[in-house]
């Protein structure tokens, strides 16, 4: 009997098994990276700026495919890079797109002179906020090319374009489309 050959084949079988598992784990990590960077990403909501549409502690999926095919539009709930804190992602609703004029009159948002019907604000007034740092917002305000005007649904508790100005379209990371957790809040946005 040749015990050396049997031991060698068993060792090569173990190595093959380890390599197979390593390939599997690397493939899974690559797939997760691809999905998060090009398809969809999950976010936990830490603040009440989008209440009552999205509650504190809700978890949402934000998909990226829509904006490969079309531009963000009025009413879309988007995720985007915080213009003030690098590495932080915010979630707000698109109110106006490039070239549109935003005005806030007596707690009502007007876009191009037309008052918006916003049942999602639950009647909370939309008032101007003190602008951040060197941002100067005067109304009526025309959204510049390549930018979006975004606001939280909880207008009395949201730092949004009223505070930091319009956001760059290039900072948009996706369109929030579903609350998936907790299950009691499960729903399409």
Q: Which residues are catalytic?
A: 49, 92
User: How far apart (Å, rounded) are the C-alpha atoms in residues 161 and 8?
Assistant: 67
CB atoms within 10 A of CB 162: 27
User: How far apart (Å, rounded) are the C-alpha atoms in residues 80 and 161?
Assistant: 12
Query: Which residues, including other chains, have CB under 8 Å from residue 167's CB and lie 6 or more apart?
Result: 80, 83, 147, 148, 150, 161
User: How far apart (Å, rounded) are the C-alpha atoms in residues 18 and 41?
Assistant: 30
User: Please, what is the end-to-end C-alpha distance for the chain in angstroms?
Assistant: 70
Whose tokens are 């909370």? That residue is 124
Burial class (CB in 10 A: 0-12, 13-18, 19+), 51: buried
C-alpha 125, offset from chain centre: 24
User: Which 8-state DSSP code applies to residue 64?
Assistant: S
């Amino acid at each position: 009997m040749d015990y050396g050959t049997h031991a060698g084949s068993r060792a090569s079988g173990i190595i093959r098994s380890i390599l197979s598992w390593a390939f599997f784990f690397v493939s899974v990590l690559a797939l997760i990276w691809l999905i998060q960077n090009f398809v969809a990403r999950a976010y936990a909501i830490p603040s009440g700026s989008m209440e009552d549409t999205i509650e504190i502690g809700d978890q949402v999926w934000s998909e990226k495919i829509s904006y490969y095919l079309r531009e963000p539009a009025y009413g879309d709930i988007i995720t985007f890079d915080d213009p003030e804190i690098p590495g932080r992602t915010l979630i707000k609703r698109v109110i106006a797109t490039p070239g549109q004029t935003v005005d806030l009159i007596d707690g009502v948002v007007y876009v191009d002179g037309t008052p918006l019907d916003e049942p999602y604000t639950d009647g909370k007034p939309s008032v101007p906020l003190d602008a951040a740092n060197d941002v100067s917002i005067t109304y009526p305000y025309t959204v510049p090319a390549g930018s979006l005007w975004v606001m939280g649904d909880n207008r009395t508790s949201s730092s949004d374009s009223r505070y930091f100005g319009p956001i760059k379209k290039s900072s948009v990371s996706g369109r929030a489309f579903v609350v998936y957790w907790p299950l009691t809040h499960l729903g399409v946005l």
